[in-house]
């Protein structure tokens, strides 16, 4: 029996292009440069793929439906995906938890926490969509 499972990823095309741009930058630089250089290079690689990039855009953070502050992610891609860039030895649980909370407090559904480490490229694709919906109905 041949079952063809097709799972649709949230913002699949953008996700694919973001990952490709990250790999291109990492292939060129590895983890040799500071975050600012990697950040600028990633913007160029993303734009080359036809993506619209907003750097350091303020986004509102909400608590119980009310705006309580703002967060400034490194990038927003096509107005729908948050990117947070790191250039450190490794991502910590605290980095991942903090990014999850940024996504949770905003109206965005998808984010990427990307670390251009000297050892490897780490890409964490974080979806905060169904969890937000469950929270509103509970």
CATH code assigned at 34:
3.40.1350
Residues in the chain: 138
Per-residue confidence (pLDDT) for residue 6, from 0 to 100: 53
In a domain, residue 4? The reply is no
77-92 confidence digits (pLDDT tens): 999 999 999 999 999 9
Q: How far is CA 128 from the centre of its chain?
A: 11
Per-residue confidence (pLDDT) for residue 82, from 0 to 100: 97
Q: How confident is the model at residue 129 (pLDDT cuts 50, 70, 90)?
A: confident
Q: Record the pTM.
A: 0.85
Per-residue confidence (pLDDT) for residue 111, from 0 to 100: 96
Say if CB 84 and CB 114 are below 8 A apart: yes
47-106 confidence digits (pLDDT tens): 999 999 999 999 999 899 899 999 999 999 999 999 999 999 999 999 999 999 989 888
Maximum Cα–Cα distance for the chain, whole Å?
A: 53
Among the residue ranges 3-12, 19-28, 60-69, the one predicted with the least confidence is: 3-12
In the predicted model, is pLDDT for residue 130 greater than 90?
A: no
In a domain, residue 6? The reply is no
Q: Residue 113 contacts by C-beta under 8 Å, 6 or more apart in sequence?
A: 84, 86, 91, 95, 96, 99, 122, 123, 124, 126
In a domain, residue 120? The reply is yes
In a domain, residue 48? The reply is yes
Q: How many domains does the chain have?
A: 1
Q: What are phi and psi of 90, to 5 degrees?
A: -160, 160
In a domain, residue 60? The reply is yes
What range does the domain containing 65 cover? 12-137
In a domain, residue 96? The reply is yes
In a domain, residue 99? The reply is yes
Residue from 124, 70, 68, 63 nearest 96 by CA: 124
In a domain, residue 2? The reply is no
State the Cα–Cα distance between residues 111 and 127, nearest whole angstrom: 7
């Amino acid at each position: 029996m041949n079952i063809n499972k097709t799972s649709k990823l949230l913002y699949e095309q953008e996700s694919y292009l973001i990952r490709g741009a990250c790999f291109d930058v990492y292939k060129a630089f590895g983890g040799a440069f500071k975050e600012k250089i990697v950040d600028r290079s990633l913007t160029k690689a993303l734009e080359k793929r036809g993506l619209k990039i907003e750097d350091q855009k303020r986004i509102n953070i909400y608590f119980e439906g009310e705006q309580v502050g703002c967060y400034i992610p490194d990038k927003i891609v096509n107005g729908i995906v948050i990117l947070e860039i790191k250039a450190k030895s490794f991502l910590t649980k605290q980095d991942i938890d903090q990014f999850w909370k940024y996504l949770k407090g905003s109206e965005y559904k998808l984010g990427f926490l990307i670390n251009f480490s000297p050892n490897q490229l780490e890409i964490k694709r974080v979806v905060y969509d169904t969890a937000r919906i469950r929270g509103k109905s509970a």
